[in-house]
Amino acid sequence: MVDRDIVDDLFVVATRELRTVVKTPSLVALAGVFAVSIVGVAWAGTGGSGGFVPLTLDLLTFVEVLIPLLAFAFGYRSILNDRLTGELDMLRTFDVDRIAYVGGVYVGRAMALVGVVVASLFIAGVLVPVLTADQPTFLAQNRAADSILRFVRFVVFTGGFTLVALAVTLAVSAAARTLRTAFVFATVLTVAFVIGVDTALIAGLASGVVPQEGIALLFAASPNSAFRGLVLEIAVGVVSGTSVNAGSTPLNAFALLLWWLLGLGIAVWRVWSPVGWNDDGGT
């Protein structure tokens, strides 16, 4: 049974975090830029080919790159700022559980971040019937091939990917002891997720080091490639014929879940640690 005090503390921290995000001009501005960019891509894309599946393909690489960057901006200073200002020490004196604190930070930031992402994609999806009403393309006529359900799947997977990216960012924020270290860690992870696995996959296939059987595992090694695989397999699928190169759907889903658990687990483990990598047990 969940301790009621933990739940109450979690929601108090989550409310504080949500207010902090809303009152931070730089984060509001970044959210606005992201929304405008998504809508801009949708506007340009639907003006050409039309349909929900083409829009998904237009947005896939775009969100795959931007969401880790947005999550990084929303979360890399969240826990670290409280450590540097002494807020964590004060919370410990009030016997706030580490799970309640990390959970609150995560829930508050996630509500803002996922809200921005989903709202932006929703607006982009609304543009499809508006801008393509008079464009009789094959996909637009074939509801089985191109339907709003496929785009909804894409939005759901994108929301899940956003939660994973934020969890990993919180792990960095909890483990780092200076803003410079947090920035470096988060930047390295973002670059590794965005281009590292894809580069390794291409190089491995070209050199013959990676066998065909190992492609699915390598796809799942990065949250970005696992997310892409799920979208291509389930949201796009037979429409484009890309499922062959999308990796294993169960493996991709398991990899995202594992990254999410790993990120939050590290954040909970490291949050009360005083200095370096020596944990004193916490609460």
Q: What is the pLDDT of residue 209?
A: 66
164 in Cβ contact with 67 (< 8 Å): no
The span from the CA of 157 to the CA of 115, in Å, is 14
Per the structure block, which two tokens stand in for 147?
A: 């339907």
Reported as a single tens digit per residue, the pLDDT across 146-198 is: 788 889 999 999 999 999 999 999 999 999 888 888 888 888 887 777 776 66
The span from the CA of 227 to the CA of 216, in Å, is 13
Of the candidates 126, 109, 125, 88, the one whose C-alpha atom is nearest the C-alpha of residue 31 is 109
For the chain, domain boundaries: 4-270
For 249, which DSSP code?
A: H
Q: What is the pLDDT of residue 212?
A: 62
Reported as a single tens digit per residue, the pLDDT across 66-90 is: 999 999 999 989 999 999 998 888 8
Gyration radius from the chain CA atoms: 20
More confident residue, 61 or 49: 61
Q: What is the mean pLDDT of the chain?
A: 82
Share of the chain above pLDDT 90, in %: 43
The distance from CA 2 to its chain's CA centroid, rounded to whole angstroms, is: 27
